[in-house]
Structure 1
Amino acid sequence: MNLCVTALLFYMFQLIHGQPDYLGFISIDCGIEVNSTYQDSVSNMIYVSDYSFVTTGENHGISSDYVKPSLVKRYLNLRFFPHGARNCYTLRSLVMGNKYLVRAAFYYGNYDGLGKPPVFDLYLGTNYWHEVSLSDAGAFNWMDIIVVAPDDYLQVCLVNKGMGNPFISGLDLRPMKNTLYPEVNATQSLVLVNSNRFHMGPTDGSVIRYPSDSHDRIWTTYNAIPNCIQISATSVIQNNLRDVYDVPSSVMQNAVTANSSRIDFSWNPSDPSVNISSKYFFIFYFAELQTVGSNAVRQFDIIINSKTWNKQPYTPTFQVTDYFSGILHGMENYSVSLVATKNATLPPILNAMEMYLVKPITAVATDPGDARAMMAIQDDFGVIKNWMGDPCIPKASIWRGLNCSYPPVGASKITALNLSSFGLVGAISTNFRDLQALQYLDLSHNNLSGPIPNFLGQLSSLMFLDLSSNDLSGPIPYSLLQRSQNGSLSLRVGDNVNLCGNGTACRSDRKKINGTLLTAIVVPIAAAIALFVILFLLCQVLKGKAKRNATGHEDESALLENREFSYKELKHITNNFSQQIGKGGFGPVFLGYLENGKSVAVKVRSESSSQGGKEFLAEAQHLTRIHHKNLVSLVGYCKDRNHLALVYEYMPEGNLQDHLRATSTSKPLSWEQRLQIALDAAQVLSICTSPVSQH
């Protein structure tokens, strides 16, 4: 008992989560409560809500005026779609290349109180299935399509054509043996319209379906043959060895015959879409149910619209199913006659029949790999928008944010994705890697987190990638940086506070990236050093020019706007020049401390220095007017008789030159450090090449 309960729970769990059951069946009651299930009392099949199959639409019950005791449960409610031109169900976990029967059922029941059933179109994937039109509010309609799955999923789409909101009551999928219905292939499907699958049993409206029919085909009673006589049998009716339709015995155990030598009836497709280019495929089934004496002969011809289909008189086999099939061109009405031959002593017999509309598969869908990737991305991020059905086809219903290629031959491929401000949350989906034709990808202004995956740099067609304004972290993959540097990829990663450079590890105190373009992020150390050399030489030239332009008649103290120190004060603040921290062409540099505790560097002219008083004043004047974080600021000077000195703000980590020199001996710099050095060098260069009076 416990084992049975466990099996049932597992069976229902699969269905709730959108998976076929152990038979491969999917049975959906559209419009029931989310994640609810129930077992049908007749077929014992488990019906589930459509929650896992569709992301749009609203549930509604039918009008109480149309609720009757005989009404099956799945018709008490429905899902309708007041928004969007196309709304689609996705049936997953199929086997690509296998055959499936898909059934859509409709019962309007005046759910909206308008008393006017809507008219809309039904599509299977990108291919037109049929128009849905109900004669009145209490009419039922269901239609089957037998198709080869082009992928591991099928999509049923309801398309609004401006004649009321599309709705659906039920949706079923049944696997079929690939040997059945050989007329169905990758280029052609069969559509059953208006329940045109009949058995010849009692005219009480009885229906034969699963479990009698293992494929759950629905066989209804045909009662339009005038003056017919019903016969039946209780023995099992076998299928012959060449049978490709697998008709259940319960269907073949009933038949009609006549009191005369012929059975005549007409068949009306009742299909407004029929025209001369349409094709119908018919199958008539025969099996002898009565024991025929040695002198009795049942023999007849099969005639449709005056054409005899059998090459020689036909005699059904006792308790074995046989059939005749063929293709008819579209007409409004077909006359069918089964006519006994001259040698016959018994009237004709007919057990069952099917009539299908032949549907060529003409629309080329989106590349299967791209379509699967987009559906997986949709699942990863829970995107709704208009993301349903085929991503690219038709053009009028292309998914929001997508651009696709439409080649004259072959499938469409996705070339661009603009998902900026889509509300995406979590890690960047690994399914983007399967979009091999992608040229443009914008994921900016979302809530993406985690690292930037390496595979983005391996998308060979990608030319633009915007990951800015997210919460991404860790290093930027080298492949992206390399492509950004060589100009093959425009890369944006700004406003990701936890991103850092192209290293194997990131410092915990890494700075936020402020740039939006990475084409100039990686500046080689050699270029930074070259910039420094250039700016240093330019500064020297400008200092010489300033010296030559000096008149020498101005008050030297007026040129210096900072504090003037006496030599005695310098001895005091440097503790009698006790701690030398450097040496240059001007002279030694000593560490000192002002009265407020601020550290300074005191540069004292040595007796061997070639620099005189005017050169000293020119340098001091220039430094008092320049302010930059990587150029030391002048605090003051000393011109006490022969003692010349400059007092600078002390920089514990060195100036720009120190940073550049350090690159030859320290560990490799991160791209952030390289960028900052390059920016500083460029700014200092700008300062040094501008007139002194502007700084």
Structure 2
Amino acid sequence: MALYNYLLLVTFVSFIVLLEAHDQSGFFSIDCGLPDGSRYTDEITDINYISDVGFVETGTSHSIDTEFQTSSLQSQFNNLRSFPQGKRNCYHVQPQQGKGSKHLIRTRFMYGNYDGQHKTPEFDLYLGVNLWDSVILDNETTIITKEIIHTLGSDHVQVCLVDKGRGTPFMSVLELRLLKNDMYETPHDKLTLIARRDVGSISNISVRYKDDAYDRLWTPRQFENFTTLNTSLAIDQSGNNNLQPPLIVMRTANAPRKAIQYINMLLEPKDPKGKFYIYMHFAEIVKLQRNDTREFTILVNNEPMEPTVFSPRFLFTDTISNKNPVNGSRIEISIRPTNRSTLQPIINAIEVYQVNESLQSPTHQLDVEAIMKIKAMYRVKKDWQGDPCVPRDYSWEGLNCENPPRIASLNLSSSGLSGLIDPAFCNLTSIQKLDLSNNSLKGNVLDCFAYLPSLTELNLEGNQLTGLLPPKLLERSSTGSLKLRCARPLKSLGYFEESNTKRATI
């Protein structure tokens, strides 16, 4: 009777998890290249996808070659968006949860010979101002997936593709999945996925939503010459496990055959200086006999992980991870039975993440807000994508920046600007040189220009400005602290000294 009540409780817990898995409120699922206004529900995953129009300003939509549009191919890969223009092109997503929220961000790529060139490109992927990874496709049907867990430092996410001169960048899918803030807790704001394995899987299909409420992709992995264990019983994920690996993943495991007592896993990082976090998931799925014991220790590069002795609980999920990151050219994970253990060790699933260091800081937020308003107000037709200043190699056309990243000069000469001078220019509080010449700007010159402390050059020539120049601006010009260029020679404005209440006419 007690066992029946226990199984009933586990089933109830599983039902709650299943209900939570149907909630897509924390999902952004973008099918790149899908026509404007289009949306659909994927027949396999039941995930709702929308067009990328509104999340990206550039690029062109394409369908892959009909040769590769097979019934087995997921709908998201039938089309894509390519970026033949500009060095850097970016998607901009603003999750409702905003700054401080944690998200799994996933990008996916399949070339599919969309351009008829039979030549796969190679390009870089950036998250904000920092390199995320490189995208290298082996052939036309290769599907590349990149994942990163990111705690937002602002209210938006920018995912950028950078042209390396090795073919046109493109993207097939962009997905964001809201995570709980206590998941994958480390001192770092970005963790790049290296591997996520469903160990002992009896299927060759990856597990994701709906089985995984957070739509993580679990790749099946069978260790060679290992025994596969599985159960149809539910696994309790309540208690201290906040990562909640899917039930279907935890229902299978690998164990060594009797002749092989250890589970040894090897990771050979591309970057030996990289820092790695390892999450191993365990659940006992075999009802042990009275005299049986399954107990083991876990070593990473011969250093024991805590707890130093571990015994998986029957039908309960436990996760063991390293509190401090490990590094090296070879990372060896060894799961070894203790002397008192009568059974081989097991493992149900494993995840490995690399710390993605924030090597560069983004442009000051006040400058970003100001320049974005200017961009929108005047519909600036320049290669303005991503962060205005960073990385320096991809800073916006017409901008020069100082370090730490602030906009020091802005050249919008002959840029087709029209209308009034927007006050957003005066929010560039570190600007030293501003050139708005040869446009169609009208109205008055703003008083606030005179109060920009670093401004030394202001060029307003070749516009249709009217009214009076602000006295403070004339004062700075006459003292030499500001080089002012307007429609007439500066000397025609020179009766400012007669009265500081007068203004000179342009």
Instruction: Pick the TM interval, shorter chain.
Output: 0.7 to 0.9
Structure 1 residues not aligned, in runs of 5+: 1-20, 495-514, 528-667, 676-695
> What SS does structure 1 have at the residue aligned with 2:473?
helix
Query: Is 1:437 matched with 2:433?
Result: no
TM-aligned CA distance change 1:455 to 1:49, over 3 Å: farther
- CA distance in structure 2 between the partners assigned to 1:292 and 1:28 by the alignment: 47
In the alignment, is the contact (CA less than 8 A) between 2:469 and 2:503 conserved in 1? Answer: no
Residue aligning to 2:5: none
Q: Which residue of 343, 353, 358 maps to 1:356?
A: 353
Per-residue CA deviations over 1:261-301 (Å, capped at 9, x if unaligned) read 635354456x6xx1322233211111223333443211122
TM-aligned CA distance change 1:290 to 1:451, over 3 Å: farther
- CA distance in structure 2 between the partners assigned to 1:214 and 1:428 by the alignment: 50
TM-aligned CA distance change 1:519 to 1:34, over 3 Å: farther
TM-aligned CA distance change 1:216 to 1:384, over 3 Å: farther
TM-aligned CA distance change 1:392 to 1:342, over 3 Å: same
In the alignment, is the contact (CA less than 8 A) between 1:146 and 1:184 conserved in 2? Answer: no
Per-residue CA deviations over 1:564-618 (Å, capped at 9, x if unaligned) read xxxxxxxxxxxxxxxxxxxxxxxxxxxxxxxxxxxxxxxxxxxxxxxxxxxxxxx
By how many angstroms is 1:324 displaced?
1.9
Q: Which residue of 314, 317, 320 maps to 1:318?
A: 314
Residue aligning to 1:563: none
By how many angstroms is 1:96 displaced?
2.5
Residue aligning to 1:426: 419
By how many angstroms is 1:336 displaced?
4.2
- CA distance in structure 1 between the partners assigned to 2:242 and 2:465 by the alignment: 58
Residue aligning to 2:191: 190
Per-residue CA deviations over 1:133-157 (Å, capped at 9, x if unaligned) read 1222211110111123222222222
- CA distance in structure 1 between the partners assigned to 2:39 and 2:49 by the alignment: 6
Q: Which residue of 247, 250, 255 maps to 1:252?
A: 250
In the alignment, is the contact (CA less than 8 A) between 1:230 and 1:255 conserved in 2? Answer: yes
Per-residue CA deviations over 1:320-369 (Å, capped at 9, x if unaligned) read 3212223432436x554433333223332212110112222222322232
TM-aligned CA distance change 1:466 to 1:218, over 3 Å: same
Residue aligning to 2:229: 230
TM-aligned CA distance change 1:483 to 1:25, over 3 Å: farther
- CA distance in structure 2 between the partners assigned to 1:439 and 1:35 by the alignment: 43
TM-aligned CA distance change 1:454 to 1:339, over 3 Å: same
How many residues were matched structurally?
480
Amino acid at match of 1:245: L
Residue aligning to 2:103: 100
By how many angstroms is 1:481 displaced?
4.2
Alignment of structure 1 residues 178-327 onto 2, 5 Å: 178-186=181-189, 189-193=190-194, 196-200=195-199, 202-241=201-240, 243-260=241-258, 262=261, 264=263, 266-267=265-266, 274-304=270-300, 307-310=303-306, 312-326=308-322, 327=325
- CA distance in structure 2 between the partners assigned to 1:518 and 1:319 by the alignment: 87
Per-residue CA deviations over 1:381-440 (Å, capped at 9, x if unaligned) read 22242211221122222211111113xxxx221111111111223333333232110121
Residue aligning to 1:156: 159
TM-aligned CA distance change 1:425 to 1:54, over 3 Å: farther
In the alignment, is the contact (CA less than 8 A) between 1:487 and 1:519 conserved in 2? Answer: no
- CA distance in structure 1 between the partners assigned to 2:251 and 2:172 by the alignment: 32
Residue aligning to 2:460: 467
Provide the identity percentage.
36
Residue aligning to 1:447: 440
In the alignment, is the contact (CA less than 8 A) between 1:280 and 1:358 conserved in 2? Answer: yes
Higher share in helix = 1
Q: Which residue of 150, 173, 176 maps to 2:176?
A: 173
- CA distance in structure 2 between the partners assigned to 1:429 and 1:671 by the alignment: 21
- CA distance in structure 1 between the partners assigned to 2:328 and 2:166 by the alignment: 26
Query: Is 1:345 matched with 2:342?
Result: yes
- RMSD, aligned α-carbons: 3.0
- CA distance in structure 2 between the partners assigned to 1:311 and 1:490 by the alignment: 69
- CA distance in structure 1 between the partners assigned to 2:455 and 2:420 by the alignment: 20
Alignment of structure 1 residues 556-595 onto 2, 5 Å: none
If asked which structure has higher relative contact order (CA below 8 Å, sep 6+), I would say 2
By how many angstroms is 1:198 displaced?
1.7
> What SS does structure 1 have at the residue aligned with 2:424?
helix
Amino acid at match of 1:209: R
- CA distance in structure 1 between the partners assigned to 2:44 and 2:250 by the alignment: 21
TM-aligned CA distance change 1:224 to 1:234, over 3 Å: same
Residue aligning to 1:130: 133
- CA distance in structure 1 between the partners assigned to 2:186 and 2:192 by the alignment: 12
> What SS does structure 2 have at the residue aligned with 1:378?
helix
- CA distance in structure 2 between the partners assigned to 1:434 and 1:198 by the alignment: 49
Amino acid at match of 2:203: D
In the alignment, is the contact (CA less than 8 A) between 1:262 and 1:337 conserved in 2? Answer: no
Structure 2 residues not aligned, in runs of 5+: 1-22
Residue aligning to 1:517: 490
Residue aligning to 1:621: none
Amino acid at match of 1:160: D
- CA distance in structure 2 between the partners assigned to 1:388 and 1:114 by the alignment: 27
- CA distance in structure 1 between the partners assigned to 2:478 and 2:109 by the alignment: 59
Query: Is 1:379 matched with 2:383?
Result: no
- CA distance in structure 1 between the partners assigned to 2:213 and 2:442 by the alignment: 49
TM-aligned CA distance change 1:264 to 1:443, over 3 Å: same
- CA distance in structure 2 between the partners assigned to 1:267 and 1:137 by the alignment: 30
Q: Which residue of 51, 54, 61 maps to 1:52?
A: 54
Per-residue CA deviations over 1:187-213 (Å, capped at 9, x if unaligned) read xx21114xx112236443333323433
By how many angstroms is 1:76 displaced?
0.9
- CA distance in structure 2 between the partners assigned to 1:295 and 1:96 by the alignment: 53
Stretch deviating more after TM superposition (371-380 or 476-485) = 476-485
TM-aligned CA distance change 1:167 to 1:203, over 3 Å: farther
Per-residue CA deviations over 1:635-678 (Å, capped at 9, x if unaligned) read xxxxxxxxxxxxxxxxxxxxxxxxxxxxxxxxx98744xx9xxx
- CA distance in structure 1 between the partners assigned to 2:91 and 2:116 by the alignment: 26
Q: Which residue of 477, 484, 495 maps to 1:491?
A: 484
- CA distance in structure 2 between the partners assigned to 1:161 and 1:308 by the alignment: 43
Q: Which residue of 326, 329, 345 maps to 2:327?
A: 329
TM-aligned CA distance change 1:474 to 1:115, over 3 Å: same
In the alignment, is the contact (CA less than 8 A) between 2:191 and 2:353 conserved in 1? Answer: yes
- CA distance in structure 1 between the partners assigned to 2:252 and 2:369 by the alignment: 46
TM-aligned CA distance change 1:184 to 1:116, over 3 Å: farther
- CA distance in structure 1 between the partners assigned to 2:321 and 2:45 by the alignment: 30
By how many angstroms is 1:525 displaced?
5.4
- CA distance in structure 1 between the partners assigned to 2:198 and 2:328 by the alignment: 23
By how many angstroms is 1:516 displaced?
4.7
- CA distance in structure 2 between the partners assigned to 1:287 and 1:405 by the alignment: 54
> What SS does structure 2 have at the residue aligned with 1:329?
coil
TM-score under structure 1 normalisation? 0.63
